[in-house]
Structures are given as C-alpha cells and as structure tokens.
A = this chain, B = another copy of it.
Amino acid sequence: MRLTVCRKEHFNAAHRLHNPHLSDEENQKIFGKCNNFYYHGHNYELVVKVTGEIDPVTGYVIDLKLLSDIIKEEVIDKFDHKNLNLDTEEFKNLNPTAENIAVVIWNKIRKHLKPEHELKIILYETERNFVEYPA
C-alpha cells in the first residue's frame, strides 16, 4: 500500500477577484466584497501532499526538506508578501480564486516530482474557506 506525506507552508498575499470580460456590475454581483477595487488579503496556508512508496533505505516517501525547498522556490518566493494580481505573471490574466491558485501551485510543483509520485494541493484562504486539488 502507498503512503502520503504532507508538508504545510504559508504565505501572505493581496488579491482581488475580478473578471475583466464582465462589467463592473457583474463583477460586484458575483464576487461581492472580494471584488474590492484596491484589493484585500489573506494568510494562505498551503498543504502539499505527495503519495508514493516508502524508500527502504531512507524510510521516506520523499525528503520533506526537499519538498519544503521546492515549495519555497516555486510558491513562497514568488507569492509571499505580493499582490497576486499585479506582482505575479501567473495571475496577470487568471482570476486568483483559491481554486485557480491551487491549480497553478499544483502545476508548478508537479514538474519537480518523480512520475510515480502523485500530488495533491490543499489551500486554505481562511480557516473557513479552503480547496483541494485534485478532488
């Protein structure tokens, strides 16, 4: 049976939910206060889960220090203390909902993992709102 190892990290960022193809009224109706013109922000908590076999030499599925370094390079260094809409290439043309952020992070980390490893992302926008990708 395979095993899943998990690493939790966090970053603090500003964002605004907005679809430029919709009118201001539609954006306000769909996104409410999350559409605030001058942005708002969150302490994002990120859990990265990697599933695979235990290496009999190390007793590890993957070295969590290595996984933490990958997360730091791909996510924390790029998103922490940033405005997701204005400071990042990833969300210049993509609405930074928790759903879209999770998919972006999955793609950024996936390329660093071995093919036999599975990857899952959990992203907490607040303690009460969070997403899991893939389901």
Contacts and interface: CB of A to CB of B under 8 A. Distances in A.
Contacts of A75: none
One complex includes copies of this chain to the number of 6
Nearest to A101: B59
A130 B42 CA distance: 15
A133 to B, nearest CB: 5
A24 interface: no
Contacts of A64: 129
16 contacts: A3-B131, A3-B135, A5-B99, A6-B129, A10-B126, A14-B38, A19-B57, A30-B58, A32-B65, A33-B80, A34-B81, A38-B87, A40-B41, A40-B83, A51-B135, A54-B99
B6 A36 contact: no
A100 interface: yes
A97 interface: yes
A114 interface: no
A4 interface: yes
Contacts of A111: none
A36 to B, nearest CB: 5
Contacts of A8: 127-130
